[in-house]
Structure 1
């Protein structure tokens, strides 16, 4: 039995987009092991309320998530590091990194739960594409 690729999703706070990606991944595919971290994570914080709400709408429970700070060790442990959004990440040598320039509905005047649903749906599509590309 093959072990699934380890994907580390990264955003700035590890309270929104990277959390969505981490918790959506097992609801979308069992072919990727997902985790997340933030470049400026506030330890002791919690997931963004609207992110948790829109995740729950699709059966993903992130209520117990605690933000964690991105480290070189976390990146080295992953098969792939995916930056979800605009976080500035410089990986250690040899670490595979890709950046998802995700939809930002607030730039079009869309906020609140509608904004988060659009972001969730964009990330969902990207996870499906990623799973098809990196797994068999």
Structure 2
């Protein structure tokens, strides 16, 4: 791992879970970690309920745009966190992989998305501790 670890969060649509996780880690790690997110089948836009849930935490995802998962993105990451992307995520030796089983916030009401958001925050905090950021 480099001096500044690179973390890639991946979910199917890159419109909820991975965007929230990336935003939490970026907020916590600032310049001590490089944070990226992508989706195996990106949506056209970020889930508006996820945006609303993150605004409650003081994090603004309104300008975020879903991105396609590329092999280069995985290759560049030290840590790859998957959230339901299954076999779509390429695997390279020497990288740290974690699969976070989290409900997809798509189509869920705000009260359910808050629960998902809070679980993501908890996991991101543990990840940040393990990376020393």
* TM-score normalised per structure 1: 0.83
Structure 2: runs of 5+ lacking an equivalent:
none
Q: Distance in 1 between matches of 2:19 and 2:114?
A: 14
CA RMSD of aligned residues (A): 2.0
Quick check: 2:40–2:89 contact (8 Å CA) kept in 1? Answer: no
Runs of 4+, deviation exceeding 6 Å: none
**Is 2:119 aligned against 1:118?**
no
Equivalent position of 1:51 in the other structure? 50
RCO greater where, 1 or 2, for CA within 8 Å and sep 6 or more?
Answer: 2
Q: Using the alignment, how far apart are the partners of 1:25 and 1:122 within structure 2? A: 13
Query: In the alignment, what sits opposite 2:12?
Result: 12
Residue number in structure 2 paired with 1:28: 28
Mapped partners of 1:114, 1:28: distance in 2: 24
**1:130 CA displacement:** 0.5
* Structure 1 unaligned regions, length at least 5: none
